[in-house]
């Protein structure tokens, strides 16, 4: 996770992908949260983070269909409410 905060975003995402326990591993949940934050910042600052979001999404997508769904939703600005 340190890599994400030290500017090595895609390396950090690759490291976190699939890490942890659960139906959606904790690492994938963190990445989904990162995508939600980027989406929110994009709206607040009227900026375009689409290239970053797409790169993170591509790097984080794997074999787990549940994790992939949680990664798809924030990338498309469509976050589920618990």
User: What pLDDT digit, counting tens, does each position of 6-63 carry?
Assistant: 778 899 999 999 999 888 899 999 999 999 999 889 889 999 999 999 999 999 999 9
**Maximum Cα–Cα distance across the chain:** 36
Which residue range is the domain that position 42 belongs to? 2-75
Within a domain: 80: no
In a domain, 60, yes or no: yes
Model pTM score: 0.84
Going by C-beta distance under 8 Å and a sequence separation of 6 or more, which residues neighbour residue 2? 12
Q: Is residue 82 part of a domain?
A: no
Residue 66 placed within a domain? yes
Q: Structurally, how many domains does the chain consist of?
A: 1
**CA-to-CA distance for 32 and 36, rounded, in angstroms?**
6
Q: Is the pLDDT at 80 greater than 50, yes or no?
A: yes
User: Is 55 part of a structural domain of the chain?
Assistant: yes
81 is a domain residue: no
Q: Has residue 41 been placed in a domain?
A: yes
């Amino acid at each position: 996770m340190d890599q994400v905060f030290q500017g090595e975003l895609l390396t950090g995402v690759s490291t976190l992908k699939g890490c942890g326990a659960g139906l959606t591993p904790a690492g994938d949940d963190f990445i989904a949260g990162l995508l939600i934050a980027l989406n929110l910042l994009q709206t607040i600052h009227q900026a375009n983070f689409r290239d970053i979001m797409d790169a993170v999404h591509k790097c984080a997508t794997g074999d787990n269909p549940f994790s992939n769904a949680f990664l798809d939703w924030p990338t498309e600005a469509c976050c589920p409410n618990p």
